Structure 1
Amino acid sequence: MTGLHERHLAVSPEWLALYYRHPLELTHGEGRHVWDAAGTRYLDFFGGILTTMTAHALPEVTKAVSEQAGRLIHSSTLYLNRPMVELAERVAALSGIPDARVFFTTSGTEANDTALLLATAHRGSNQILAMRNSYHGRSFSAVSVTGNRSWSTTSLSPLQTLYVHGGVRTRGPYAELSDERFVKACVADLEDLLGHTRGVAALIAEPVQGVGGFTAPPDGLYAAFREVLDRHGILWISDEVQTGWGRTGDHFWGWQAHASSGPPDILTFAKGIGNGMSIGGVVARAEVMNCLDANSISTFGGSPVTMAAGLANLSYLLEHDLQGNARRVGGLLIERLRALGAGLPAVREVRGRGLMIGIELVKPGSDDADPDAAAAVLEAAREGGLLIGKGGGHNTSVLRIAPPLSLTVAEAEEGAEILGEALRAAS
């Protein structure tokens, strides 16, 4: 145990998890690589939990941060803030939501917290629909709509939450159905659930469940849900904290895989837009955003420095078509990983879109999750010079792969090779 690790344990909560038997201290990064305190270089396939979206130490972002910090670091939302207005204008236009209003926060948790506040205030109800196996953050309200037991830290709740089928395609009571019948069964479940309650405020859903192991329903499920929700006047909150900004390759936002229903009523975002700077936010049509009848500001949301970073990062993303790169390189990577997994009985499924890929591990000869194997692969990948994440449902048995969107073909091949060796070693 290093001295820094000992100091960490002495002052940090026991529940503050660290990866690896011998935790890493990362000291610097460049492009798709990071270095630890011992000088070891790693190919980064997790990006600080999908947050380093474009690249480590991206010159355009570091320059914008430095220049803004030299002028003014903080002002709060009580003053006009040019970088905040400029980024809000761009996000509103990209969101697809008509007459959109944008409110910036400091994290995805706070963004979802705000979305729940808006929905319950607008509808005059504290009833929320959420997806099984979901994750929406660590605040009291966000935990109360989190359907993943590993991350739901209390059963107490300020909300009455009802959980719906559909977020996990290959497990559960509808797993053996065709996509069409799966959607119909989930819609029937939603209809039945709504028949036993009244006045639900909103459905909150991740288009691709992040912490839950990069699971997703068939395209069109949330469009089918939307038809039911609209009949009941229920709002749809799309949690795009992990799926936004083109990471899935096929779409800029995850909700667009269900686009026949149009945009959501409320969209939340965070993580990648700041490329490591603390930015979250909510987009909603004016009628919903303006429903609050009491004061509400943010001391740190929309700070000049983070907004400057967000503007530079978003410009780089769009100008270099990183969504297209995620589609092309991600498609290559997922096929490479599927080929590697095909001969390994511990690999149940390789799934994902773009540069958002999950490898689900099970005990060979069964369908039982194997979190020990996932932990072993995580360690073996690190030994090979590759950093990945993990997640999943009741057991953390899914390897999560989400590199910066500027990943090259050569780096994808290198990472796949290291991961293949790690999977074989763990098996």
Structure 2
Amino acid sequence: MTHDSPTLHSRHRAVLPSWLSLYYERPLEITHGEGRYVWDAEGNRYLDFFGGILTTMTAHALPEVTKAVSEQAGRIIHTSTLYLSRPMVDLAERIAALSGIPDARVFFTTSGTEANDAALLLATTHRRSNQILAMRNSYHGRSFSSIGITGNASWSPTSLSPLQTLYVHGGVRSRGPYAHLGDGEYIAACVADLEDMLDQTAGGVAALIAEPIQGVGGFTAPPDGLYAAFREVLARRGILWISDEVQTGWGRTGEHFWGWQAHADNGPPDLLTFAKGIGNGMSIGGVVARAEVMDSLSANSISTFGGSPVTMAAGLANLNYLLEHDLQGNARRVGGLLIERLRAITARLDVVREVRGRGLMIGVEMVRPGTDERSPEAANLALEAARERGLLIGKGGQGGASLRIAPPMSLNVAEAEEGAELLAEALQEAQVKSTAS
């Protein structure tokens, strides 16, 4: 079988939407992978530092997952939620216990977008309000409702929405009107802004939805404790807190199993959404909520594909592997080394403004050399240069000016060093070309 990527690209453009973006001037067709590496249709090998957008969480072609998928597919592939499903109940029990939410109920979807959409439905129904607090620079999916709470203009194609959204300060620590403040003062200023906004808002707000670390936003984050401080304000007013853990969940940040635990002074969120990594490539999303909130829907509902036997089997096998091999601890150790390595590399490059993140969730913000001005052009140069050297990374942030680094969580020290060297070369090339332009 031959592979012709240019022809495939032409076929892609002929039948798929123009807004379905592709990386690279010469788009890449990935044909197979193993461990932390993937291969393209031309036989080139790449170290994967993006994991299909933080989705290949443990490893490519992980035997435990592929075996579970194959065995379940050999029994039955689909039944729907109209019938009892042992794999769905098994995984729901594990996630409910891990969530930290008391009296938890779990509803499975097929994506993070759908999970956040379900959480918004639950919160607005429970609170009888369509008002939602969201963070500036946020991203929660591509459905009509989730676009309506997206605070990043690059990913928000319409201002129409079924929700009234109020955007709150705090998600981007190093930019904005409070960036010059210390962490304690920063949190106090954001809380004061939140209080002022709520005092001037008619009606009862349903919920705050927030990513503990903003994914598409470029791996930006507030100081630890911000959402705990917000929670005190919200709880007094009966407002729910939804923690969007689609990218931060399952130990990727290293220090905690969930991103919300960095803000855990006063307990877990009312709702938690998850997706991406739990399936290691299989389509799993979901929402966890305490029973009072989850059971507030008065109409019937089902999910045709959410909680399918094959995806649940994959999720169980993947979660077992992650816990048994302490991949959270590995993310903390190897991710910590990688962040420090990247900070040392970029200290002498003025095309890089900041290296941020924690665990194996690292952002590199690119600027026009000698300025504080975000540079999507420099990010694109680095993305292309990394690919040419055999390294796959992502990008995000305002205008796409930040590089996103999120390898599978089984990354070892040698691979981290290899990736850091390749990225150092790519960033140096971006520096030279950006300075010349």
Query: Equivalent residue of 2:223, what SS?
Result: coil
Q: Distance in 2 between matches of 1:328 and 1:384?
A: 25
TM-superposition CA deviations, 1:264-306 (whole Å, max 9, x none): 0000000000000000000000000000000111000000000
Q: Name which of 258, 261, 265 aligns with 1:253.
A: 258
Structure 2 segments unaligned to the other structure (5+ residues): 432-437
> In the alignment, what sits opposite 1:99?
103
Q: Distance in 1 between matches of 2:411 and 2:239?
A: 39
Q: Distance in 1 between matches of 2:418 and 2:155?
A: 32
Amino acid at match of 1:235: L
Q: Name which of 409, 416, 422 aligns with 1:418.
A: 422
> In the alignment, what sits opposite 2:435?
none
Compute the displacement of 1:426 (Å).
1.1
Q: Report how many aligned residue pairs link the two structures.
A: 426
Query: Equivalent residue of 2:400, what SS?
Result: coil
Detail structure 1 runs of 4+ shifted over 4 Å in the superposition.
none
> In the alignment, what sits opposite 2:78?
74
Q: Distance in 1 between matches of 2:186 and 2:336?
A: 25
Structure 1 segments unaligned to the other structure (5+ residues): none
1:46 lines up with 2:50 in the alignment? yes
> In the alignment, what sits opposite 1:153?
157
TM-superposition CA deviations, 1:203-259 (whole Å, max 9, x none): 000000000000000000000000000011000000000000000000000000001
1:319 lines up with 2:294 in the alignment? no
1:360 lines up with 2:365 in the alignment? yes
Compute the displacement of 1:143 (Å).
0.2
Q: Name which of 342, 351, 359 aligns with 2:347.
A: 342
Amino acid at match of 1:423: L
**8 Å contact 2:187–2:226 — kept in the other structure?**
yes
> In the alignment, what sits opposite 1:131?
135
> In the alignment, what sits opposite 2:126?
122
Q: Name which of 215, 220, 225 aligns with 1:215.
A: 220
Q: Distance in 2 between matches of 1:122 and 1:175?
A: 35
> In the alignment, what sits opposite 1:304?
309
Q: Distance in 2 between matches of 1:208 and 1:425?
A: 29
**8 Å contact 2:51–2:407 — kept in the other structure?**
yes
**8 Å contact 2:250–2:328 — kept in the other structure?**
yes
1:143 lines up with 2:147 in the alignment? yes
Q: Distance in 1 between matches of 2:362 and 2:404?
A: 6
Query: Equivalent residue of 2:108, what SS?
Result: strand
> In the alignment, what sits opposite 1:233?
238
Q: Distance in 1 between matches of 2:114 and 2:177?
A: 33
Amino acid at match of 2:272: L
What is the RMSD computed on CA atoms of the aligned residues? 0.5
**8 Å contact 2:351–2:430 — kept in the other structure?**
no
Q: Name which of 58, 61, 81 aligns with 1:57.
A: 61
> In the alignment, what sits opposite 2:184?
180
Compute the displacement of 1:364 (Å).
1.2
Q: Distance in 1 between matches of 2:347 and 2:279?
A: 37
Q: Distance in 2 between matches of 1:426 and 1:293?
A: 55
TM-superposition CA deviations, 1:303-355 (whole Å, max 9, x none): 00000000000000000000000000000000000000000011100000000
Query: Equivalent residue of 2:167, what SS?
Result: strand
Query: Equivalent residue of 1:413, what SS?
Result: helix
TM-score when scaled to structure 2? 0.97
Q: Distance in 2 between matches of 1:367 and 1:345?
A: 10
Amino acid at match of 1:190: L
Q: Name which of 393, 396, 399 aligns with 1:391.
A: 396
Compute the displacement of 1:261 (Å).
1.8
Query: Equivalent residue of 1:261, what SS?
Result: coil
Q: Distance in 1 between matches of 2:229 and 2:419?
A: 37
Q: Distance in 2 between matches of 1:292 and 1:416?
A: 49
Query: Equivalent residue of 1:238, what SS?
Result: strand
Compute the displacement of 1:153 (Å).
1.2
Q: Percent identity?
A: 81
Q: Name which of 374, 377, 382 aligns with 2:382.
A: 377
> In the alignment, what sits opposite 1:88?
92
Amino acid at match of 1:81: S
Q: Distance in 2 between matches of 1:159 and 1:261?
A: 28
TM-score when scaled to structure 1? 0.99
Q: Distance in 2 between matches of 1:75 and 1:190?
A: 45
Q: Distance in 1 between matches of 2:136 and 2:266?
A: 22
Q: Distance in 2 between matches of 1:70 and 1:106?
A: 21
Compute the displacement of 1:365 (Å).
1.4
Query: Equivalent residue of 1:156, what SS?
Result: coil
**8 Å contact 2:179–2:186 — kept in the other structure?**
yes
TM-superposition CA deviations, 1:359-417 (whole Å, max 9, x none): 00101111100000000100000000000000002x11100000000000000000000
Q: Distance in 1 between matches of 2:121 and 2:429?
A: 48
Q: Name which of 393, 400, 406 aligns with 1:402.
A: 406
TM-superposition CA deviations, 1:66-94 (whole Å, max 9, x none): 00000000000000000000000000000
